[in-house]
Amino acid sequence: MNAFRPSPEPVRWRRGVYAAALVIPFTGLQLWAVLVLLRMVSLNGVVGQAFLLALFGSLIAVGTGWRWAWRLGTDPDR
């Protein structure tokens, strides 16, 4: 730990924790939904293509949520 480094701002840290508190349950729900779909659906034909599209959208949504939480916790201007 560097003694000359300023301590993190408590407001910025608090916003990051609140953002993570929103993103972590969302990520869990997305993973649960994908696992339920994998268990219940046969991936043949159009259903398989729709599942891949939903999986890709889910990955984008989770990635965007984590990026938002990271930026909110680290950006001093927000």
Over residues 25-43, mean pLDDT: 84
pLDDT value of position 34: 83
- 36 pLDDT higher than 60: yes
Q: What is the pTM of this model?
A: 0.62
- What ranges do the domains of the chain cover? 10-74
Q: Is 69 exposed, middle or buried (0-12, 13-18, 19+ CB in 10 A)?
A: buried
* 7-11, 18-22, 45-49: least confident range: 7-11
pLDDT, tens only, 54-66:
889 888 988 888 8
pLDDT value of position 74: 73
